[in-house]
Structures are given as structure tokens and as C-alpha cells.
Structure 1
Amino acid sequence: MKVLFDFLKLLKNKKLKSTTLKELAYLLNLSISTVSKALNNSPEISKVTKVKVKEMAEACGYEPNFAARSLRLGESWLQSPSNQYIRSKSIRSLGVIVPNIIEESYAKAIQSIVAEANSLNYNIVIGISDVETEKEKESLEMMISRGVLGILISLSKETQLLEDKENFDLIIHQNHPIVLFKQVFEKFACDKVTNDDFDGAFQATEYLIDSGCNNIAFLSAIEDTSLGELRKQGYLQALKMKTSKKIQPILIKIDNYENFEIILKQALKTNKIDGVLAADEQSAICALNMIQLAGFKVPEDISIIGFNNSLMTKHSNPPMTTVSEYSANLGKEALTALIERVENKNSGIHVHKVIKTNLTIRNSTHNLN
């Protein structure tokens, strides 16, 4: 037996994957139940067997995984100085995966989620996808391994572009509750909480039309996302419904910001643009600066409306009219939907809750009052 222990220690030092309870039971020629009870000092197991099991566990580098039990019972476990695993106070964890936490809307949503979760005795584990599918998958795997009870996800741009749903399907089939928020797959079978991006863009375009704009451009660097598409459709619908004469849409897609200036200058030269709806905050700020550098006055020559109502839009020159999104409320509603699934308060059909937006008027547009 000592030779086997020495061999297993060598494997451990090579940093191989940790041994599972099933593998430990196989090595000892014992049942999984017996091994588990021995590790937890059950009085049903003899002292000799306990010593044998614990020595093998130590040699193999075995680390107990109580994720499954935690998922069922909301328990957490601590290892005592004597290597006995004991229940601690109930600590329940939920996961949140977002593309970034730099953008103010995500920062506000996460702040709201964490505060509300803590008040309900839940911890939050945060993952950042950096708009990449692979990092999103890594975050999902990490959270499942840590035994989170459910996961909130705002999808990365790459995941939406590739329509990569395989990883999410697998998790749902394993009965891990998921709620998508802000950026979602519309046809994905789970609960969703989003802003009313369609109506927000519709209202913004309607305002530009009512203020006298006749050539309104839609500027977007997020066309390949769900919210980018909804905002574009809201813009198109407003042009169709709110104008007596036929106005052609002016769609300006920004693939990368290195070409932003060239694309915008060409659009301004080709079209007599007098209004701009920017689908994302960064595009709005860049457009505002470049339009003024090109010699146009805002809003006298060109009116601009952006999204998100962040500090950047409040302190731009001039301060920008924006579609205001209530990110803190969005985060809270998404968390509520997830907890209802986790605690089986909602076991029915999937729901899609839509949070209303509001147009905040500032000096980048003409005031209608």
C-alpha cells in the first residue's frame, strides 16, 4: 500500500486533476457511500476504515466537492483543523456574467444585483466575458464548479454574432436556472429581462422628426447584438409611421472605431444629415465630437440623441439628449426572476419582462416646449 501511496503522491505533485469521490472509492474497493461517511467521521464507519480512507484521500489530493449538495440544500461546508468537513452557516451563491463592468449601465446593474442579493442572504460571483464567447464559457464552467444556484447572463457580442447557444443548452438541460438580461437570445428558452430598446429608439426618432429633422441617420457599432437590432428596428418603424413623405433610412454601421472618422465624414458628405440617433454611447460621443470638428453646430445644424444617460452624456459639450435606461432596476428585476426560479416560486412558462425607457432632453437637440 505504501508503494501505491508514493506513486499517487507523485501524480499529485504533477498537478493532475483532483481525484473524484468515485475514483477514490474504486481505489479503496469501497462503496462511494462508505468513503463519504468515513471522510465525515460517521460513527457508522470503523476507525480503521476512516484512517485508510483519509490517508488515501490525502495521497490522491482529493478535494471534496459539495456543489451538488449545496445546489439542493443551500449549504456550505468548512474543513476543520482535524480535516473533518462540517456545515457552516447557509451561504447561497448566484452567478452574474457580463461583457464588462466599465460601461456605466453594467456597473449600475451589478451594484443593484449585489446589494439586493446580499439583503436576501445570497452571495454573488461575477464573471467578465470581455465580449468573447470563450471567456463566457469559462465563466459558466467556473460558476457551475463553484456550485452557484443559478446564473444571470448578459450575452457577449461574439456569442450573439455566432449564435452560439450550445453551452447554454447544456446548462439548462442540467437543471441550472439561467436568466438572460440586457443582451439576450430572443428565441432562447429561458427567462429574460431587457430594456424596451425598440420603444426607446422609436421615441428618440419621433422626437427628432417632431423637431424638424428630415434626414436622420442611425449610427451603430452594436448592430450584431439583440439590443442593437431592436434599436434599429425602432428607428425604422418611427421613420415609416411618423412621416407623411417617404424618408429613406440612413444606416451607418461602425465595424471598428479606427475607421469611425472616415465613415462618418463620408456619410455627412453624401447625405444632408440633420439628425443622428446613435445606438450606443461610445458612438454618440464620438459622433458629437467629430461633427463639431467638421464645422457643424449641434443642435443648430445637426441634432444628436444617444443611449444610456451616463456621466459622459451629461457632461458632453453640449450635454446630450439620451434614451435613459434604468440599469439598477433592470438588475434588480433580473435577480428577482432568477431567485424565483431557484426557489421554485416560478416553475411555469418562461417570462420576458421589459423595462420601460425614458427620453431625457438636453442641449444636443432642439427643445419642443
Structure 2
Amino acid sequence: YYAEMTLVPVLNYLDIVGTVKRHLLGPRARNQVDMDFYFKGSAFYLADLYTGMSKVVFLCFWYASIIPAVYFLTAATLMVHYISYKFAILRSYRAGPKLGAELAIFGRVYIFPLAVFFLFMQADYNWSSFPFDNVCETNSTKVTDSYIGSHNLQYEYRDKDGGETNFLDNIKYPVEISEGDSYFKFCNQDMYNHSPKVFPAFPFFQDDESKWMSDDQAVFSWVFSILVIVVLTLVVNSILVRRLGASILSYFKASYKPQAITINQRFSEQSEISAYVPMKCDPSFLFPLLLCDISDIDTELIGWEDARNKYDSHNLSTDVIDEMKEDNEDAKCYCILKHFPPKKND
């Protein structure tokens, strides 16, 4: 979290690559075209922002059941990301493609419901595996006389190939065993690696001879296990039934519902709205490359303008279209674009 709260804002505010281009390479460019390239700004992808945000949310939900403070760290991290990205988008980054709300809808419908499911699932397994020490108390309360007294313990391990036993370190840990101490034994409390696999982690999956849950812990484990099933049902219903089911149903039943209302405004009267003009953005060129003949449309519909050159210098169709030859086959590979503005008296 500290890395996310420091590294991402620093990179957004500094914009190292963009700063070098604008302050070092740009003023020393050999011509105006190269200088314009250096001042285009750094590329920005909205998917990267959503990926980073989803990563932080998943990290929060993964550890929230054992470290509740991560909710505050996550809120602070997302706030810092929002402020730094807002500054970078408005000040440093170049304009990105117009994606609309599809990416936000995808995250809201698929990513975040799955994150909520992992929150409940992780809480269920953590509560069931607590206290994570793999130690269970036995029914015997009498310690053998040979164990009573002071002892020094060392950690040891054996090679996988069954070789000699080696000590992990040279540190000896003193242990005092008194009369009346209880016997403890090893028990696997890891519900993730339980054999056979269990889902959810209900308390009855404990081994009969190695039960470690207290009564209160078993109650919480039951509650979380039931919630996991409920949340999983809701997520599956939301994703599969509502989304995929609606997509399949649309092949057999009309599902289109108009989202807009009819207003008394014409497209030709809106000067801020541009038309869909086929073009391709190439990083080697300062302006997009037009992929159609624009002789039959108003150039204001294109959406951008080169103050130094005409549109023909950015139009690929002018390289192959020959008006003197009607049988030019190469010209047919480009789009046909026409505009029919209303007459003044209409």
C-alpha cells in the first residue's frame, strides 16, 4: 500500500518521459514537425487505471478479514490515485480514445462482484483456519515424567531425498514443562489445503481427532460459509443469468430500448459535434490519417484541423484516387463519405 500511495503519484506528477521530451528534446528539435511530436504528451490508457484500481481492491478484500485496517489504507490509496491521475490526465497525458462507459460497466458488472465474493470466501477460510499454528490440544492432561523439566529445542529439517537431519540454525530455545501441563499434537488447520478439498469451510470438515475450533469460532465459521453460498448465488445470477441470459434471449426476442428522447435540435445545428470519419492514428504522424474521400463533406465535421497543411496531406485516399480514371480499382478500398446538409428553407 505504501508503494501504491507513493510510486504511482510520483510517476504521474513527474511524468519523466514527457518532461524530458518537452524540456530537453523539444526545444532542441531540428524542425517544427519533430518539435510537435515531442509536445504530444505521454500516452494514457484507461485500462491501466482500472487494472491498478482493481488490484488495490482485490488486495484489500484478500486481507480485510484478518487486517481490518486495510480498508482505510485502500481508501487513502484510491484517493491518492484519483488526485494524481486527474492531474496527469488534465496536464500531462495526451487525449485518449473515446471509449464511453463500457469499461466502467464491465468492471461494475463482472470485476467488483467477483471481488466481493472473494472477500467473503477469504473471510470464511481465515476464520475457519484460525489460529494458524497447527497445534491441537489432546484429551490427556498428564505429562509423562520424562518430559518434566527444562529442555533446549532446535529447529531441524530433513532433505526431500531422505538424507540426514540438519539443524536450521544454531539457536537453542529453552522450554519449561511442568507437571499438569496438557499434551498437544500437530493438526492441519489449513482449510485451503485440506484433503479432500472443501468449499465452503464448514466446521464439520474438521477431523474428528483434531478439532481446534472453539464454540464461538464454529458459529462464525457457519455464518461465513452460508454467506459464501449466498454471495456466490447472487454473483452467478448477476453475471450468467442476467448478462449472458439477456444476450442469448436477444437472438430470439427484440430487446432494444431507446435511451434518448426526441428533441427539436438538428445535427447540422450543433457545431461542437463531429461526424464519424474513418481515420487511423499512427504514432509516426502528428495527425490521424484519413481513410476516405472528404470532398463531399464539410471539413468541420472531421473534428480536428492542421493549421499548417491541408487535409489532403493527411488523406491516404488522395494517393490512389485518380479522377481521370473511372476504373481505378484501388480507390474502392476506401470508404465513401457523403454529407447531405438540410437546405436553409427546410
Interval of TM-score (by shorter of Structure 1 and Structure 2): under 0.3
Kindly name which structure, 1 or 2, has the bigger radius of gyration based on alpha carbons: 2
Higher strand share: 1
Instruction: Give the alignment's TM-score, normalised by structure 2.
Output: 0.25
Superposition TM-score, scaled by structure 1 size: 0.24
Q: Which structure would you say has the larger RCO, counting Cα contacts within 8 Å and 6 or more residues apart?
A: 1
